[in-house]
Amino acid sequence: ARIAVGAMGNAPLLMIQAAELLQGKPLEDEGVRKRAARIAMDHASAFAVNNVGATVEWRVSMVEVLVRRALRRACEAARGIGEGP
C-alpha cells in the first residue's frame, strides 16, 4: 500500500511509515486505519506550510481525516472485488 498526501508543502508527501504499518494487517480493522492516519498526520505536520486558503493547523488535521476516509474506501472497494452487480 502507498499513501501520499498533497497540498502540505512544495510537493506531495509519501507517507512511508503509515503505509508500513498497514502491511500484513487487516484493513477492516478500524484501529489500524486510525493509527495509520495518525502517523500520516504526524509526519505531514513537519512539512506543512501556511497558505492563503488554509492554516497549517487545519491542513494537518485534514490529513488524518482524509487518510482515514481513503483507507475506509479502499477497504470497501476491496470487499467488492469479485462480487456481481
pLDDT, tens digit, for every residue of 15-58? 999 999 999 998 889 999 999 999 999 999 998 887 777 888 99
More confident residue, 41 or 7: 41
Cell 491542513, residue? 59
Cell 506550510, residue? 49
Q: Are 40 and 15 in contact, with CB atoms under 8 Å apart?
A: yes
Q: Are 18 and 40 in contact, with CB atoms under 8 Å apart?
A: yes
Cell 498526501, residue? 5
Q: What nine digits make up the cell of 46?
A: 513537519
Residue 81 has pLDDT above 70, yes or no: no
